Structure 1
C-alpha cells in the first residue's frame, strides 16, 4: 500500500525512506561516459575468477541461442524468431540472476557457488516473475506493432527503394523508441529486486530514472550489450559462452555503481 504523506516529508527532502516502501524512486549516481568499459573489465575479471559458474550460465545462454537458430532453420521461416525471443525474454532474467548473485558473493568476500547462485531465483520471486512476464508482454506488443507497420510495405515486387522508405523509417523510429523504453526500465530492475527485495514499480522507476540521468553512459552500455548479443548469435551461440556471463557480471557492477547504496 502507498504510504500516507506527512507534511514533515516536504520539510526534509533528504529524509530516508525504507526500502520496502511501494513505488518510489531510489536515487542514482552520476556516471562518466567511460564507466561502462570499467564495468565490462570487472565483468571479465569475475568471468576469469569464477570459470565453473561462468561456463554453466554461458552454456545455458548458448543453448537458448542455438535453439532459436535451429528452430528458424528447421521451420524455414523467420516468423518463429519473435515467439522464440519472447521465451528468451522470460528465461533470460532468471539466468542473469545467478550471475548477479555470484558477483555479489565475491563482492562480499565470500566464495561464490553454483548452488547458491541458483537459489537467487527465490529471492523476491514474485516481483521477478512479474517483471519477466512484463518483458514478454512488451515483446508481444512489439510484434503486433511490427505486424501493423507492414501495411506500409510496398505491395509491388521489385519496387524502387523510395517506396520502402516509409516502412523503413517508421519501423526504425518505432523500434528505437520501444527498445529505449524496455532498456530504461530493465537496465537495473532485476539486480535491484534481488538485492533489496523492492517491489517491481520501485525497481522500474529507479531503473528508468538512472538511465534518464546518465544518458551518455547508458548509450555506451546499451551498445556494449547489443554487441555482445550480436556476437553470440553471429557465432551460432558459441559466443554466448563468453559474452553473456561477462555482461551479466558487468551489469551487477553497473547496478552498484549507478544506484545509490543504503545508508
Structure 2
C-alpha cells in the first residue's frame, strides 16, 4: 500500500476518525526491533546523532548531580519519562525511509512543526508527570532512605547490594506507577500525531487503548525498553548512542503495526 506524501499528512484535526487499534501477537516486539535495526543501518548518521544527544544528556545529569544522587535518580528517571518526546526525530527518520525519502537530519529537527500545538500539549502532560515524579522521588528518599548519604557510585553500590530493601521496594514501586502511566499515554501517541496530525487527547486515548487491547505485546515491549535502557546506562551511557535510536525506530514500527491505516476519505 502506498504511503501518503507530506501534503497528505497535514489534514485538519477536526473530523479525523478515531484511530483503529489492531491486535498483535506478544512476539511482535522482536519484529519491531528487527525493523528498527534495519532503519538504523539505513540511516546511521542522523540516527546516531540522536543517540549521542541521549547519551550526552544522561552523562551531563550524572556529572552535574554526582553528589546529589537523590536528584540524579529522579532526573534520570524523568529523562526516560520524556524519552518518547525526545525521539520525534527518530520517528521521522523511519517515516522518511518508509516513503523512500532521503535520510536527512535537518528535516527531522523541525518535524515538531507539523503538529506543534498538539505536540506541545503532550509535552506539557509529560512535563507535569515528570515534575510530580521528581517530587515523589524526593519524598520517598526523605521518608525511607536511612543509610549514610554517599555519592552516586556509592548509591548504586547500595542498590546492587540490596541494602535498605524497604526503600528500594517503595522507590521502584512508585517509579513503576509513573512509568506505567507514561507508557500507556505515549506508546503510539507521538507517531500518531506526527503521521496523521491527530489531536493530543485522541492520540493518548488511542495509546491507552493499544495497551489495553494488547497487554502481552505491550508488556514484552516495555521489558525490552527497560532492559535496553538499563544496558545503556550500565555501559556508562555509551550504549545509549545505539540503543536509544534502536528503540526510537522500533517504536515507529510498533505504531505502524498496532494502529490500522486510515480508511480512504
Distance 2:196 2:147 in 1: 55
Shift of 1:118: 1.5
Report the counterpart of residue 108 of structure 1 in structure 2: 99
Report the counterpart of residue 189 of structure 2 in structure 1: 189
Shift of 1:154: 7.5
Report the counterpart of residue 121 of structure 1 in structure 2: 112
Shift of 1:19: 7.5
Report the counterpart of residue 224 of structure 2 in structure 1: 224
Q: Deviations over 1:154-203 (max 9, x none)?
A: 7698xxxxxx6665544444332322121110111111111111111011
Distance 1:177 1:127 in 2: 25
Q: Structure 1 residues 42, 72: closer, same or farther in 2, change over 3 A?
A: same
Q: Deviations over 1:81-121 (max 9, x none)?
A: 2246546655x445411111111011112222111212212
Say whether residues 1:98 and 2:89 are aligned partners. yes
Contact 1:152 1:166 survives alignment (8 Å): no
Q: Structure 1 residues 169, 22: closer, same or farther in 2, change over 3 A?
A: farther
Report the counterpart of residue 159 of structure 2 in structure 1: none
Q: With structure 1 as the length reference, what TM-score do the two structures score? A: 0.81
Shift of 1:33: 0.7
Say whether residues 1:58 and 2:58 are aligned partners. no
Distance 2:141 2:237 in 1: 30
Report the counterpart of residue 241 of structure 1 in structure 2: 241
Report the counterpart of residue 70 of structure 1 in structure 2: 63
Say whether residues 1:212 and 2:203 are aligned partners. no
Shift of 1:259: 0.9
Alignment of 1:143-162 (within 5 A): 143-149=134-140, 153=144
Say whether residues 1:174 and 2:206 are aligned partners. no
Shift of 1:21: 4.0
Q: Deviations over 1:208-254 (max 9, x none)?
A: 00011100100110111111211221112111111011111000000
Q: With structure 2 as the length reference, what TM-score do the two structures score? A: 0.80
Work out which of the two has the higher radius of gyration on C-alpha atoms and give 1 or 2: 1
Instruction: Give the count of matched residue pairs.
Output: 238
Report the counterpart of residue 259 of structure 1 in structure 2: 259
Report the counterpart of residue 161 of structure 2 in structure 1: none
Moved more, 31-40 or 113-122: 113-122
Q: Structure 1 residues 232, 87: closer, same or farther in 2, change over 3 A?
A: closer
Give the CA RMSD over aligned residues.
Answer: 2.7
Gapped regions of structure 2 (runs ≥ 5)? 1-10, 149-163
Gapped regions of structure 1 (runs ≥ 5)? 1-17, 158-163
